[in-house]
Amino acid sequence: MALKQVQTTCPYCGAGCQIMFTVDADANKIVEAVPADGRTNEGTLCLKGHYGWDYLNDPQILTKRLRKPMIRKGGKKSPLVEVSWDEAISYVAEKLTEIKGKYGPDSIMGTGSARGAGNEANYLMQKFMRACIGTNNVDHCARI
Amino acid sequence: MGIPEIEDAKCLLCFGYNGADSHPIVARRIVRGRQKGMKIICADPRVTETARISDIHLQLKGGSNLALVNAMANVIWKEGLADEKFIQEHTKGFDEFLKVIENYTPEYAAEISQVPAETIRQAARMYATNKPAMILYGMGVCQFSQAVDVVKGLANLALMTGNFGGPSMGIGPVRGQNNVQGACDMGALPNSYPGYQSVTDPASREKFEKAWGVPLPDKVGCPITHVPYRILQEKEERKRIHAYYIFGEDPAQSDPDLAEVREALDKCDFVIMQDIYMNKTGLHADVILPATAWGENEGVYTCADRGFQRVRKVVEPEGDLKPDWQIIAEISTAMGYPMNYKNTEEIWNELIDLCPSFTGATYEKIEKYGSVQWPCRDKSMEDKGTPYLHKDGIFATKDHKALFYGTDWHPPLEMENEEYPMSLSTVREVGHYSVRTMTGNCRTLRNLEDEPGWVQISPQDCQKLKIQKGELVKVLSKRGYCISRCLPTERVKPGAVYMTYQWWIGSCNELTIAHLDPISNTPEYKYCACRVEKIQDQEWAERHVKEMYNDIRTQMGIQPGKGARS
């Protein structure tokens, strides 16, 4: 069993606690999570910090992890069908281009994400909406 | 100010903020402050954990925040407790502000807030005479249609007592989500580019046009809370929303008035969902793009006190997943605006150079110091960031002076009435997070609380309604209803009920109102009129709740018998 340690920032509230994970690299599984000495948490964690990583194992208690791109090929309410990334990306690009052409850039709305995605993905999302689509219609759940 | 300093304040005014449930690690600082002798004033309609250890609990009626805050300002001024030197040297607009607060005698505020006038006086004295005093506020301030006015009202208190610009003072919103600060920092906002540079400022626009090589729109965009209106009711064809690209959000669970949200998603021509787990929004999406989750990707988050910190890959993603940034870049490239990045650091380097407040916060520096609070302007390792935003009372205005801003209190929109005689406020659950697709899929956490959640209600109201602990009850508003379990508790006052928002069945956002603060566009989640009804046939209700839950899971394509529930 090849063990490695990785320190990262907790994905839950805005306190920004640091967690040290021990990972079984062969099994690709987390073995243990302990508090690390971060600026804000100073070696403490709450119960979400201690136990909140199990969703990575996809235990399907509530819902299930998304594993493949999917499209409703028969329109609204039709079943979702698994597709390749190439098909999903071209489909999205074509539909957005079509809607932009027909109704203008302000007919498209995009969101950022205040959760796992991180700052870089949020930067790219707003750049995409502003520079590629041509609208300032981008917002996220800070006001929700 | 930063989170570690909380415990060294002489006084803490905790306003509409329940740390023990929403940020346990911040709540520990409050407890430690208490142990060090910090005075605590807690303004909250419920007896929260902070209220239990407070010196003064201002148990106000929901929706009366500004009346109480203005009355505290009134007392501080009338009793000569203001820091006149600070007001003189560092602020503007005090005389106009005085005219507003003059009417807010403690007696007047007592009528509105149900807090005795003498208690308001004591709280104002305690806050003004124990320096440094810190204010923490949360959603109990922000989720009202009068929200921004109250934030400014709290800032007025800090200004008039000179509590700005040093250690353990000031006013802090404690951010609910890990990266809500970061999403704002990055310009995922309709009015600003990354680094809070306004889209209506020609110089900023020109800078981003040059960097991104295309002309950019000069009008402020659509706030997320206007989306249902812009899909369902917008008359102007070119302003109506026809496509909605939802990235890491679940509006069909988290937004107010869910019936309206569902209708909007179904009537929108094209809904893209990019997420890690199937959720309620996924039932209405036309395309689903699976992304890597926290723990499977790299990047930077910003925590509540402006600290940039690294997130690192812990395990390898399994399945046909891509990091969010890569999915967005590929769509952009396919639409003729190429985005080519090898990793998150390349993206980061591009953006910090466009944002003067972030320029110095390189990956190298964040790695070395662990956490860098912006503003951090210089790339040299000596610039370690800025703990105090308004150090020594120098503010981020043109003349460096802070502005007093006084406004009158107004009540929430939907008050109790004959048909709906109680008020409903949404609150937080300690073991669950947001829409719970993460925590609901963690074995240890889901054991703490599960469907259909609880409705917190006073023992007096329970007696009146003849309902008991654990019984399933129906909670209704003008917009919808849900079924939840009765939790009698002395922590709440008669006439008001409280529910957490992550349950599919006990889904309180079926009831909430999409009425917004005019400036922040935040919905009034903390106040709407409701009614609680007894369900006579409990056996039927228990069966009905299970059936509804299984039905949602079937719609999501989860095989029967799968998961810990079976």
DSSP string across B257-310: SHHHHHHHHHHSSEEEEEESB--TGGGG-SEEEEB--TTTS-EEEE-TTSEEEE
Nearest CB among B186, B316, B430 relative to A122 is that of B186
Which pLDDT score, from 0 to 100, does residue B562 have?
59
| A30: containing domain | 3-57
Which pLDDT score, from 0 to 100, does residue B176 have?
78
Q: How far lies B101's CA from each of B123, B192, B462, in Å?
A: 16, 33, 39
State whether A53 and A74 are in the same domain. Answer: no
Cis, peptide link before residue B132, omega less than 30° from 0:
yes
State whether B186 and B314 are in the same domain. Answer: yes
B381 domain-assigned? yes
Residue B40 near residue B15, CB atoms below 8 Å:
no
**Would the CB atoms of B444 and A51 count as touching at under 8 Å?**
yes
Residue ending a domain, choose from B152, B174, B196: B174
**Would the CB atoms of A8 and B276 count as touching at under 8 Å?**
no
State whether B222 and B114 are in the same domain. Answer: no
State whether B170 and B211 are in the same domain. Answer: no
Look at chain A and report how many structural domains it folds into.
Answer: 2
State whether A22 and A86 are in the same domain. Answer: no
Which pLDDT score, from 0 to 100, does residue B563 have?
55
A97 domain-assigned? yes
A76 domain-assigned? yes
3-state secondary structure (DSSP) of residue A113: coil
Look at chain B and report how many structural domains it folds into.
Answer: 3
Residue ending a domain, choose from B124, B144, B174: B174
State whether A37 and A99 are in the same domain. Answer: no
State whether A91 and A137 are in the same domain. Answer: yes
Q: For the domain that residue A14 is a member of, what is the CATH number?
A: 2.20.25.90
- Residue B543 exposed, middle or buried by CB count within 10 Å (0-12, 13-18, 19+): exposed
The residue of B29, B185, B245, B552 whose CB has the most chain A CBs within 10 angstroms, and thus the best one to mutate to test that interface, is B245
How far apart CA B171 and CA B163 sit, in angstroms, is: 9
How far apart CA B17 and CA B171 sit, in angstroms, is: 12
Which residues in chain B are closer than 8 Å to A39, comparing Cβ atoms?
2, 4, 307, 370-371
State whether B311 and B449 are in the same domain. Answer: no
How far apart CA B346 and CA B226 sit, in angstroms, is: 34
Q: Centre a 10 Å sphere on the Cβ of residue A121 and count the other Cβ atoms it contains.
A: 31
State whether A43 and A87 are in the same domain. Answer: no
A63 domain-assigned? no
Q: For the domain that residue B97 is a member of, what is the CATH number?
A: 3.40.228.10
HSE-CB of B12 using CA atoms within 13 angstroms: 33
- Among B280, B319, B299, smallest CA distance to A11 is for B299
State whether B319 and B253 are in the same domain. Answer: yes
Residue ending a domain, choose from B329, B362, B385: B385
State whether A117 and A90 are in the same domain. Answer: yes
Which residues in chain B are closer than 8 Å to A40, comparing Cβ atoms?
2-4, 25, 303, 305, 307, 371
pLDDT in tens, chain B (566 residues): 778 899 999 999 999 999 999 899 899 999 999 999 999 999 999 999 999 999 999 999 999 999 999 999 999 999 999 999 999 999 999 999 999 999 999 999 999 999 999 999 999 999 999 999 999 999 999 999 999 999 999 999 999 999 998 899 999 988 778 899 999 999 999 999 999 999 999 999 999 999 999 999 999 999 999 999 999 999 998 899 999 999 999 999 999 999 999 999 999 999 999 999 999 999 999 999 999 999 999 999 999 899 999 999 999 999 999 999 999 999 999 999 999 999 999 999 999 999 999 999 999 999 999 999 999 999 999 999 998 888 888 898 899 999 999 999 999 999 999 999 999 999 998 888 888 999 999 989 988 888 999 999 999 999 999 999 999 999 999 999 999 999 999 999 999 999 999 999 999 999 999 999 999 999 999 999 999 999 999 999 999 999 999 999 999 988 766 554 43
Q: Global pTM?
A: 0.95
Strand B243-247 to strand A108-111: parallel, antiparallel, or no bridges (unpaired)?
parallel
pLDDT tens digits for A3-62?
Answer: 999 999 999 988 999 999 999 999 999 999 999 999 999 999 999 999 999 999 999 889
Residue B359 near residue B380, CB atoms below 8 Å:
no
Question: What are the structure tokens assigned to B160, written together?
Answer: 């008039």
A62 domain-assigned? no
Tell me, what DSSP letter sits at residue B385?
B
Residue ending a domain, choose from A36, A57, A78: A57
Which residues in chain B are closer than 8 Å to A52, comparing Cβ atoms?
433, 438-439, 442, 445
| B31: containing domain | 3-174
A8 domain-assigned? yes
